[in-house]
Structure 1
């Protein structure tokens, strides 16, 4: 198993490699969202079509403010409150937000929204802050397989093809729920 610390994880992301890391509920695969070849590595590892899109993870609301600024003020407050009032002991919320030009097309696939989660998981917060940007977040498993709940499961799925950031899962029993900020529709309960 190719375990790395936070500094090595940041180097991995900057070099265009794929990183596995613990999130609120399952292990995730991530990369620098601006590096298309890194993103394509994730798709290949997961055997996932580009059309599906992925989540972008941030440690702070301030980092994603440009994505929130075009929302209706009441909706914006609902989105912000869902992140501010959460903690790593409960289920996270991912919001589908209107696409901005700064978001690469490969991130949102065939969709007209981009999925964003402001994480309360301490290690994910450290990862995004140290990287100084959002990080791709998609479950660490090949398509059709159960998402990894341990670093060993990640290693079994991807046998030495990725680096694994040492750490613990959060305490959420399920992956994030997903809501559309424009329509209010619950996409994943």
Structure 2
């Protein structure tokens, strides 16, 4: 895997495509507003919907989470979901930008168990924005070649690896209220 090319694209504010548990994801540096805006434009996704951050471990997303707002008696149930194909909606840190949260006081984060995505996050030393590789409302793409065909030069780096065995994208839930956003 050409991690140096991925790191350069990430640092330059370019878009990356990588396999997740069920579909290919499109991502970028969550700290780079211009990169996130580019991603939203390519996907034709409104900023108000918010975005998911995917990471190799919790330390990569904790800066975006109001960690102390997670009650002590809920911490085990919260963190027992990871690593795995479950995205948790957690209280956002006060300085988490609206371009990630969609203007909400929560942030959607996932610590993945899918090894190619974990390797990418580790190589980048960062969580990455994770949204399905498709135009909003269209079916999600599941291969590197389909991503290249659909998005062309808009994606600077595409990981040649397989998606995981999940039949559907990650569940999304709020572990503090038990609300399920996507089953």
Q: By the TM > 0.5 criterion, same fold?
A: yes
- Paired residue for 2:139? 146
Q: Deviations over 1:94-136 (max 9, x none)?
A: 0000010342220011322100000111111111112111100
* 2:95 is the counterpart of 1:113: no
**More moved, 102-111 vs 174-183:** 102-111
- Paired residue for 2:164? 170
- Paired residue for 1:184? 178
Aligned runs of 1:1-189 on 2, under 5 Å?
5-65=2-62, 67=65, 68-84=67-83, 86=84, 92-162=85-155, 163-189=157-183
Unmatched tracts of structure 1, length 5 or more: 87-91
- Match of 1:115, SS? strand
Q: Distance in 2 between matches of 1:73 and 1:51?
A: 30
Contact 2:98 2:104 in 1 (8 A): no
Q: Distance in 2 between matches of 1:178 and 1:37?
A: 26
CA RMSD of aligned residues (A): 1.5
- Paired residue for 1:89? none
Q: 1:39 to 1:64 in 2, by over 3 A?
A: closer
Aligned length: 180
Query: How far is the alpha carbon of 1:72 from its aligned partner?
Result: 1.1
Q: Deviations over 1:20-58 (max 9, x none)?
A: 111111000000001011001111111010000110011
| TM-score, normalised by the number of residues in structure 2 | 0.92
Q: Distance in 2 between matches of 1:148 and 1:39?
A: 20
| TM-score, normalised by the number of residues in structure 1 | 0.89
Q: 1:38 to 1:64 in 2, by over 3 A?
A: closer
Q: Distance in 1 between matches of 2:95 and 2:104?
A: 16
- Match of 2:81, SS? helix
Name segments (4+ residues, structure 1) moved above 6 Å: none
**More moved, 101-110 vs 51-60:** 101-110
